[in-house]
Amino acid sequence: MKLVFAGTPEVAVPALDALIASDRHEVAAVVTRPDAPAGRGRHLVASPVAHRAEEAGIEVLKPARPRDEDFLARLREIAPDCCPVVAYGALLPKAALDIPANGWVNLHFSLLPAWRGAAPVQHAILAGDEMTGASTFQIEEGLDSGPVYGVITEHVRPTDTSGDLLTRLAFAGAGLLAATMDGVEDGTLKAVPQPADGITLAPKITVEDAHIDWRAPALRVDRVVRGCTPAPGAWTVFRGERLKVVNARLVPDRAELAPGELAAGKNNVYVGTGSHAVELLWVQPQGKKPMPAADWARGVRISPGERVGAGDVG
């Protein structure tokens, strides 16, 4: 089939690579979000998908809005048979959905109908799911509600961050999307409506969602840290400034610390929660780079009984 691939972030690149490598399909163009400010200089930078397409000599379309008539006219000229999508980042209007003969097929990083929305991997970790996966489905005007072509499953490991899990799903899902294109092309694959039961929503994780409540049980704190890493980054407050918690681990045998109370040894830093303690492994003070928590603790010289979150948990 002639394909127009839509995607924007790094997580979409493995799927684009898989389709470029396919000997059954031609990636005629790529649709991605417009260049965006990045880095300290806030210079405009093309998306990872745009970079990869340009390297491969593929036409790149960057509509400000997918409803723009210039974009729709170019899409009609290309006349794709199907438009595979991975994390494009904009809603597609019906005028665009109607152009390819086989529609737009999305690779979504959950087992639909669970975790429909922008942040399925983060929400799976926050909820403590032991199993997740990826689904390919036909895009319709509803939110991730279209019929499903195929799924793969993936175990959520006890130490997975959302970044770890998303990376594995991006590569496994690339194979699923390529196989879905094959099945659509030869007619062997039919989309099946999603069940009405089991629908959960996964809206974008906000900075406030990543705010650690040390009164919560340690298991919840651990999930917030892992689910919000690398973005937006779990955080707390120490001496009036924001402190990101980059990496932590559960310490079930330490229960003597009050919520938020710090205990620093030579090579370890512990924080109390609503149950047992967690050990801080890596932190990032405001305006600085990530560092081992023990190095941070030596630098700030924690006082006995001092807490994180002391001014923001009431």
Helix (H, G, I), strand (E, B) or coil at 52: helix
What residues pair up with 59 in beta bridges, in sequence order? 29
Cis preceding-peptide flag for 9 (omega within 30 of 0): no
The reply, when asked if residue 110 is annotated as ligand binding, is yes
DSSP E strands, the chain = 2-7, 26-31, 36-38, 43-45, 59-61, 83-86, 104-108, 131-138, 148-155, 235-238, 241-251, 262-264, 269-271, 277-285, 291-292
What are the CA-CA distances from residue 84 to residues 9, 158, 196, 212, 250 (Å)? Answer: 15, 32, 25, 37, 40
> Is residue 111 a known part of a binding site?
yes
What is Dmax (Cα atoms) for the chain?
70
As separate numbers, helices (DSSP H) first and strands (DSSP E) second, the chain gives 8, 15
177 is in an annotated binding site: no
The annotation status of 113 as a binding-site residue, yes or no, is yes
Annotated binding site: 110-113
Residues of the binding site for (6S)-5,6,7,8-tetrahydrofolate:
110-113
